[in-house]
Amino acid sequence: MRHGRLTGIAAAMVSAVAVAACGGSGPPTRGIASQTPNQIVARATHAIDRVSSVKVSGSVGDGSAANTITLDLNLVGGRGATGSMSEHGLSFRLVAVGGEAYVSGSTAFWKQFGGPSVASRLHGHWLRGPTSSGEFSSFRSLTDIHRLLAHLLTGHGALTKGATTTIDGRRVIALHDASKQGTLYVAITGTPYPIRIANGSATGGRIDFSNFNRPVSLKAPASSIDITSLKH
């Protein structure tokens, strides 16, 4: 099986989102819109440190449909993640919990990433592997939302403030990073969470953050196939 290709989706997602980077409504966060870009990012980083869960959705890639990665994931700090991802138009479901990652895809998906024999064996089944090492280790980053989001907020160049606007009913302020052609949108109502990161380069891409601190059910599939069994 071409394990590295499959696992690379998670790694590509994390790195591509980082390149792009640079709740509900409530009363205005005091003075945040008038603060400097670095002060606003510091406020957002402080807010993320206290998040227990978040939904991450959107797409990243090189501008072509063939090389676009889409994701719709619910991340739970210190526990894991659940949702779906896709590449080349082939999607798969993912559950990461208890130090294990579980992946379930269509026959077409498994043929692309494992070949006909693997597709036949995994049809209708979940594939299981540890996130501590090996082929599924890239999924481990999805269990640490604080580290992941903090990395997105600190890995930027010089920032300039843009206009305020509304995203999904929430007022936000834009922070532009010309060096990476990225824009970070931070809420100026309620808690100053990062709401969106978008890449204005030819590669495009946009990631939205929502459902902060909402309950997420994480449960390992009832049955699965150990990834090591595919090596024999």
For 162-221, the pLDDT digits (tens) are 999 999 999 999 999 877 778 889 999 889 999 998 887 666 788 899 999 999 999 999
Please provide the average confidence, as pLDDT, over all residues in the chain.
80
User: What pTM was computed for the model?
Assistant: 0.81
Strands (E), the chain: 53-60, 69-76, 80-87, 90-97, 100-105, 127-130, 159-167, 170-177, 182-187, 194-199, 206-210, 225-226
Q: What CATH number did the domain enclosing 193 receive?
A: 2.50.20.20
Pairing verdict, β 100-105 and 127-130: antiparallel
What pLDDT, on the 0 to 100 scale, is given for residue 175? 92
Q: Which of 209, 217, 214 is nearest to 193 (CA)?
A: 209
The two three-digit tokens of residue 80, written as one number: 């894991």
Domain that holds residue 186: 3-231
pLDDT tens-place string over residues 120-130: 889 889 999 99
How many folded domains does the chain comprise? 1
Neighbours of 211 (CB within 10 A): 16
Q: Which of 196, 200, 177 is nearest to 187 (CA)?
A: 196
